[in-house]
Structure 1
């Protein structure tokens, strides 16, 4: 295949070859620089999606690239039968930032969820001497596409074709503590939830809710699993979103921006959980935590520190909130804004898929969440001027669509 094909030729080829599990936008992206992406036709796009909250450092960060290039020249993979230095360095940096005690590196967020579920089940098995425990998850949650992760994803649309799923999962309502308490039995081993619900429409946990769930878990020796796959890694204004609440999980999952484009995830736990859960033979991965992804994670944490990303988010996020609030006040089709840090959602009465498609014509990438929310998860290195440019392009989009729909 030629690397110089026109856009439609690339798209036609992809539609012949790739499994049709995505309705992709008519866009063939070629390269990125800073907070902009460029397609094969040379058009520039201000990116407020960051590859679905992955590219926290934007595109073509020199320190990140150099670390990856250097590791490619040394060693890509060894398996977990041996130690490797890059992943040990990466583990130290992630644990230091999270104040958790143990970490297992995976290849994705979904795999991190799978490991977290297994760890919770094994903890309860060790404690009680039998299996058959239950997990409480949240309605409108999203944790991944594998059978285990789907089983704790509170969305029937995603689940129905693949039933029967993993048994022993009950669902409660996010930010409704009484609904959680109503699902607790003596079989409950874990409560799993996103600290900020993402796909469900950008809903941060309420402080009294997450504190109440933590107290409930402490009272009944239930493990609290917090999914930080999208909301973690500085996006909320703290390194991990639960740090905004001063509520620590027993198990935490992380991915997306952990490698800033390199596929890597992780689940972390306290020593108390580690002592009674996964032991040799219980869990494994061929690729997870190899030297290449270790170098990526290590470089990401170095850059977060060098650029003081968390402080930058705290500075820019209030400005993004202010400009979005002004937009909501201006347009009847926008009804509410919510979120935390640089993870924001705006409810929209126009078809959000059409809004997302039209923003591309204006040189802006914005994605959606749920059926009626525009989602803003830009690279964490955006400046206020980028926010202004985004608002201008989005405003033009809304004016065009309000007239045509």
Structure 2
């Protein structure tokens, strides 16, 4: 009889893992607590297929995003999901950003990412409105419909047991081996469990009896869109040179598949695990964050950055000024609010941000505990790795 594996989480990573397991002959059940697939991180992001540019050579992120760039694009094309390989510009807006830009070029070469340095005049051939002293042209970056990828995965999982509106409420070792998962309606007996719960992944791990090394701290990414009459200011994707000490790439401009231009994300602490607005508040979630020592150590280290992000969150003028560093013609009145996303950022007790994918195992269990961007790009590759760990 085929091994039975329960996957918790119906985002792109969970569905990709489920598909990989079924392809290897497993019987699979997917539990998703929301009433639709891709409800959180997968369905609320900038839909960029990352190239693997930013990540430390040899890291999970570097290897999986470079391979994932190819595999997710091929998957989308094979299954009729919208995708376009448009490339992007990472622009240095001042001379003091050039060393970091050169470092990015070196990382691109080390990771096998097709990219080359170009002059400001060459950059304006791609983006006539951009302001920079130099830029890195990254050729393999694309845009994609990640929720559409999830719908294609669901169709491929026609032999799996897919359950929406079904949270995992209790997890314990099985009496005769394996694992048992209580859903409120029944207890599901399985040979193995895979936790791909994203924003809830550390809680699911604790529910299963683990003490995970990291705790999830939610950061809300806030977006605007350019008004339709101002979309001509951006032809493709324009990114700043990121701060290497932070996990976020900075506010950038992204032309989407439908022609709209997204601007963002800003990054502020979310006031609940799935808090997409300032008014989304959970006292229990806030207390959990406040009691975790890593939160205070992070705040002490990045307090000024955090204040700047909050001020930008509260001021469209400040948000527009950040964008105007890249494209000077962008003004506050050009921006209209767009949907926000929430990033599940894993944080260690010493206040360090987990900067790579974090996957922990226990008997009959695999827990994906840190898989923020570029996890969607890397989902099919993460799935192969996770499936290898399932015993």
TM range (shorter): under 0.3
* TM-score (normalizing by structure 2): 0.27
| Greater fraction helix | 1
| Greater fraction strand | 2
